[in-house]
Amino acid sequence: MSNPVLVNQIIPKPNVIPLTGRVGAEIRDIRLGGDLSDATVAAINQLLLKHKVIFFRGTS
């Protein structure tokens, strides 16, 4: 799942806030508890590869 359009369908772009120009992003309002779908795991992985460091806010 390297296509940004697919990532944006799983984790909406407004929920991903870049923290600096080069490294880091905050992902808001994502449900991390319970079983995550393969698509969600793949989207998180793609965001991690893109931003190098991710933080989760407003999780449930």
Q: CA–CA separation, 19 vs 37, rounded Å?
A: 26
Q: Is 34 left (phi over 0), alpha (psi -120 to 50) or beta?
A: left
Q: Which domain holds residue 8?
A: 4-57
Better-predicted residue by pLDDT, 50 or 58:
50
Query: How much is the CA Rg of the chain, to the nearest whole Å?
Result: 11
SS3 content of the chain, % helix, strand, coil (to 5): 40, 20, 40
pLDDT in tens, 4-38: 668 889 999 999 999 998 899 999 988 888 888 99
pTM exceeds cut of 0.75: yes
């931003």: which residue's tokens? 51
Number of domains within the chain: 1
